[in-house]
Structure formats: C-alpha cells, structure tokens
Amino acid sequence: MIGRLFGNVSQRVPSLLYRVSLMMKPQVVFVLGGPGAGKGTQCSKIVESYNYTHLSAGDLLRAERAREGSEFGQLIGNYIKEGKIVPVEITINLLKKAMEETMQKDEKKFRFLIDGFPRNEDNLQGWNNVMDGKADVKFVLFFDCGNEVCIDRCLERGKNSGRTDDNRESLEKRIQTYLQSTQPIIKLYEKHGKVRTVDASRSVDKVFADVKAILDKEG
Ligand code: ADP
Ligand code: AMP
C-alpha cells in the first residue's frame, strides 16, 4: 500500500518538476509612443513573425469598460474620453491576469509586448510593486512620431474606429497627457540605456523593417 503510494508520488514528482522548469519568467517589451504613432499596427505585425503575445493596455481597458457587470466600466469610460490615465490598480490587474491566462494556456508563450504601458509614474510604480521580480523588462520599443502626424492618423482612424477618443477634442488632451506624463517615463528608461527608438512617421513597412532589425538583434 505504502509502496504503491510512494510509487505514485515519485512518478508524479518528475513531471511536476518538468512543468515548473518549463514555466519561464515573462519576458516583456514595453511599447510606447504618442496616440496614433502606430503601436497597435506594428505589434500586430510583430505577432505574425515572432513568438510574442500582444497586450494593449487600451484594448484591455476598453474590454473591461464593455464587460457586463464591471464595477469600473463607467470610470474607465470617463477617463478614456478625457484622455486621462486610468488608475493603475485597474490596469495592472488586467495586464497581470492577461499574462497569467496566456501562460496557463501555453507555457511557451512567455514573451509579451505590453502596448501603452507604463504611461506615467503611477503606472511604473504599480508595475514595480506588483511585477518586480516576476517579469523581466527587456527594453522599451519607442515609436517616435510628431504630434501632428499622430493627430492626423487618429482622426483618419476615427472615421471607422467607433472610439470615443478619436476626435480632435480628446486628441488634444491625449497628446498633452503623452507629453506631460509618458515622455518623462521614456526619458527615464533612456537614462538606463533601455530604449530602442524607431522613426514611426514613415510608412508601415519601413517602420517594420527597423522593428525587425531590433527584434532580430535583441530577441
Ligand atoms: P496606436 O496604437 O499607436 O494608437 P495605431 O496602430 O492604431 O496607433 O495606428 C493609428 C492609425 O494610423 C491607424 O488607423 C493605422 O492604420 C494608421 N497607421 C499606423 N501606422 C502607420 C504608418 N506608419 N503610416 C501611416 N498610417 C499608419
Ligand atoms: P490607447 O488605446 O493606447 O490609445 O489608449 C486609449 C486610452 O486608454 C488612453 O487615452 C487612456 O485613457 C487609457 N489607457 C491606455 N493605456 C493606459 C494605461 N497604461 N494606464 C491608464 N490608462 C490607459
């Protein structure tokens, strides 16, 4: 009886150890740039060619806003329309949950593009509090694009996107938020040599050629 019991345990232990050894720490690339810089467009292209999962903070917040029964739906909706940054507790939990769910489904999917995060000091602190030691941030992929180009692209996108913030009034606020809150975060990472900058004002293909060169070098 005892022998059978031990037998079963010892058979189970290697497979457990094997599973744990396969669980990699998430490898993260933060993707930043102004509204309309092309972050989402480039992340979709990266996912086609590289083993990355794209998590957009904005998309996760819009999905939470739309989720029936969400206690934060209205609050998120107001922040988005005003181009303001949603409190980090909400965003970080959505990101953490999405990362965990992805890795639980397939433990080989441990590479993440986190798009639109960290957008301010509060975001960065939230990340450090919740994720420090639990994920490795490899670098920041920065899509550098002039404000006017960004605004024009979002207005064009707004013709079909159905987004409440792709209009001139929201965009002025989003650009201000980007300049005041997000650029200092990019500068902070720059000081640590962790920013890879791409000129995002060019065509999608030209931008992607530079992105590929970065990813091929950095993995
Ligand atoms: P972000 O995720 O940074 O807000 P998107 O990827 O959604 O930006 O792009 C914003 C809009 O600009 C979309 O309508 C997209 O099709 C378009 N766009 C993206 N990259 C380029 C580019 N390099 N040149 C021209 N238009 C672009
Ligand atoms: P995006 O889809 O990246 O253009 O984001 C749209 C809006 O979602 C932003 O203007 C913010 O209101 C909100 N948002 C996106 N990312 C974040 C974030 N990291 N923290 C808080 N709010 C965010």
Q: How do residues 169-194 score in pLDDT, each as one tens digit?
A: 999 999 999 999 999 999 999 999 99
Atom of ligand 2 nearest to the CA of 59: 2
Convert 81-114 to b/e letters by CB count within 10 Å (16 or more is b).
eebebbebebbbebbbebbeebbeeeeebbbbbb
Whole-angstrom Cα distance, residue 31 to residue 198?
11
Whole-angstrom Cα distance, residue 61 to residue 80?
9
Between the CA of 39 and the centroid of ligand 1 the distance, in Å, is: 7
Residue nearest (by alpha carbon) to ligand 2 atom 1: 58
pLDDT in the model for residue 112:
98
The greatest distance separating any two alpha carbons of the chain, rounded to the nearest whole angstrom, comes to 76
pLDDT in the model for residue 13:
52
Are the C-beta atoms of 196 and 139 separated by less than 8 Å?
yes
- Which residue ranges are tagged as binding site for ATP? 36-41, 157, 202
- Which residue ranges are tagged as binding site for CMP? 123
Between the CA of 50 and the centroid of ligand 2 the distance, in Å, is: 25
Are the C-beta atoms of 154 and 171 separated by less than 8 Å?
yes
pLDDT in the model for residue 22:
55
Kindly give the parts of the chain with pLDDT less than 50: 1-7, 9-10, 17, 20-21
Q: What is the architecture of the domain spanning 27-218?
A: 3-Layer(aba) Sandwich (3.40)
Backbone phi, psi, residue 31, to 5° = -115, 115
Among 30, 31, 32, 41, the mutation site with the greatest number of ligand 1 atoms within 8 A of its Cβ is: 41
* Ligand 2 contacts CB of residue 117 (under 6 A): yes
pLDDT in the model for residue 24:
85
pLDDT in the model for residue 56:
98
Identity of the amino acid at 182:
T
pLDDT in the model for residue 82:
95
Q: Is 200 exposed, middle or buried (0-12, 13-18, 19+ CB in 10 A)?
A: buried
**Cα-based torsion angle of the residue sequence 161, 163, 99, 31 in order, rounded to the nearest 10 degrees:** 80
Residue 99 C-beta-side C-alpha neighbours within 13 Å: 25
**Which ligand number lies closest to the CA of residue 174?**
2
Atom of ligand 2 nearest to the CA of 87: 21
Q: What is the pTM of this model?
A: 0.91
